[in-house]
Structure 1
Amino acid sequence: MSDVRGRPTLAATAEAQLRQDILRGALLPGEKLNLDRLREKLAVGLSPLREAVNRLVTDGLILAEAQKGYTVTPISLANLNEVCDLRLELEPYALRRSIERGGLDWESEVIGALHRLKRTERVAGDQASRDAWEAANNAFHLALVARCDMPILLKMYHSLQALNDRYRHIYLSAAGQQRDVTDEHIAIAEAAVQRRADDAVGLLRSHIRASTDNLRRLIAQSLPETP
């Protein structure tokens, strides 16, 4: 959200910083949020801070409980499995609709996003390169589904993406293990723009499963089975 001059509002700036802190693990899962300390840290008033926090509640990154305040949403294997299952249902559906409805502009956006992702290097231990790769990766996946023309579905997609990104940021950053997904991305994009919907959907499902399996292996010893 921005003001009439196109500048980010205080709430939007605070939201972006809080989102980054949660995704990177600077704010730990299950951590109680002290709004007074956050207000001082982010140099914003209480009203824009509450607006920012409530947006992240909507995305599932923060929990709001009556009389208890705000807490960074805990993580667990059960939660990761639920995120994966929902992605397996919703993203392929959105991709199939995009293939049916997208025109030449959509094809160009998919191929352009793929090209940028392929040219973006991800270096273990280099936060800047990881951030650039994550942004390019998210842009590619969004380009695939953007022409589903279903605003509610896209809102759910963004929430699931944020929840999944948190696991990847926290655990891949700690482990330093990065799965090479270049060939998978190329295969999905080619099938999509060639209008091979069944192939594209199958490849996307396999990609989601493989990426989640990789995370499960990394975190199985450190997370409980239940929330």
Structure 2
Amino acid sequence: MTNANAASGEGKGAKSTLASSVYQQLRDDLLRGALEAESKLRVEWVVSRYGAGASPVREALNRLAAEGLLGRHDQRGFFLMPASATELEELTRTRCWLEERALRESIAHRTADWEEQLVLALHRLARAERRQPDEPTTNNPEWEKLHRAFHRALIAACRSHWLIGFCDQLSDQASRYRLISQRGPGSERDDLGEHRTIAERTLDGDADGAVEALLSHYRLTAEMCTARLNEGYDPRAGSAKSARSRKQRPM
């Protein structure tokens, strides 16, 4: 390989690494709701925020759009997908279909190592603080990671990487809605109790009971989020406005 070719290869590798870094940072911010105030994600704005060039930023945005985490208009750039009660209903229904099958398969093909990993995942989740100490309406990023790890551990023994991959994609899509459901007063629930019930039934080999607990867990989240959206919750504003206040607002 000539020096020129080597340099070219190194340049492409650096760009690919940078694009992957921007992709991961942007993806993490999307999933934790840090970009809700930005309805449009202009390349220039992303370049400024993440300190990367336009080329790796476009690559990262295109990857996220391909995964369905961003919307894309031809010639008009990228945007955050609007929150919709209709989409949430379809998403929840589909997620329940797939995760029921994954959980039943996981229980049917259980191993001692899988049981230990599930117990450990629940233990770690139970020890984590869910809310940020200085911002009670915002989830702790560490809790978010452990929450994701718990749900992944539930289905890890299902013996289908395809099914696990589809469940992961739906989990990503559901993250934004789950954050909406947890914001504002009156949104507290016994999260740990719900997760403990799911785990106990799963470890007992009670497939029907475990599935019932898991799907109830997801459906409750969807109900809480739908209620927030029906109140007039605007993810970009981070607040809910009653229908009455909207009607009384002068035109």
Distance 1:154 1:75, change over 3 A: same
In the alignment, which of 10, 13, 19 is matched to residue 18 of structure 2?
Answer: 10
Distance 1:17 1:173, change over 3 A: farther
Matched position secondary structure for 1:9: helix
Task: Between the two structures, name the one with larger relative contact order (CA 8 Å, sep ≥ 6).
Answer: 1
Alignment of 1:209 onto 2:219: yes
Structure 1 residue runs of 4 or more that deviate by more than 4 Å after TM superposition? 126-129
- TM superposition shift of 1:180: 1.5
- TM superposition shift of 1:95: 0.7
User: Is contact 1:29–1:75 with CA below 8 Å preserved after alignment?
Assistant: no
- TM superposition shift of 1:175: 4.5
- TM superposition shift of 1:22: 2.4
In the alignment, which of 87, 104, 108 is matched to residue 100 of structure 1?
Answer: 108
CA deviations on 1:162-186 (whole Å, 9 max, x unpaired) are 1211122245244573321222211
Alignment of 1:67 onto 2:78: no
In the alignment, which of 161, 174, 177 is matched to residue 187 of structure 2?
Answer: 177
Alignment of 1:165 onto 2:172: no
Question: Aligned partners of 2:188, 2:140: CA distance in 1, in Å?
Answer: 10
CA deviations on 1:100-150 (whole Å, 9 max, x unpaired) are 223111111111000111111223625886222211111100100122222
Number of residue pairs aligned between Structure 1 and Structure 2: 217
Of structures 1 and 2, the larger Rg is shown by 2
- TM superposition shift of 1:84: 0.9
User: Is contact 2:109–2:158 with CA below 8 Å preserved after alignment?
Assistant: yes
Matched position secondary structure for 2:78: strand
Distance 1:89 1:202, change over 3 A: same
Q: Which one-letter code corresponds to 2:26 in the other structure?
A: L
Scaled by the length of structure 2, the TM-score of the pair is 0.77
The aligned residue for residue 61 of structure 2 is: 53
Which sections of structure 2, spanning at least 5 residues, go unmatched?
Answer: 1-15, 235-251
Q: Which one-letter code corresponds to 2:203 in the other structure?
A: V
The aligned residue for residue 205 of structure 2 is: 195
Q: Percent same amino acid at aligned positions?
A: 37
- TM superposition shift of 1:62: 0.2
- TM superposition shift of 1:219: 2.3
The aligned residue for residue 30 of structure 2 is: 22
User: Is contact 1:29–1:74 with CA below 8 Å preserved after alignment?
Assistant: no
Matched position secondary structure for 1:185: helix
Scaled by the length of structure 1, the TM-score of the pair is 0.84
Question: Aligned partners of 2:32, 2:48: CA distance in 1, in Å?
Answer: 20
In the alignment, which of 119, 123, 131 is matched to residue 131 of structure 2?
Answer: 123
Alignment of 1:145 onto 2:155: yes
Question: Aligned partners of 1:150, 1:24: CA distance in 2, in Å?
Answer: 27
Question: Aligned partners of 2:59, 2:105: CA distance in 1, in Å?
Answer: 33
Question: Aligned partners of 2:67, 2:185: CA distance in 1, in Å?
Answer: 26
User: Is contact 1:97–1:148 with CA below 8 Å preserved after alignment?
Assistant: yes
The aligned residue for residue 8 of structure 2 is: none
CA deviations on 1:176-208 (whole Å, 9 max, x unpaired) are 733212222112111212222121111111111
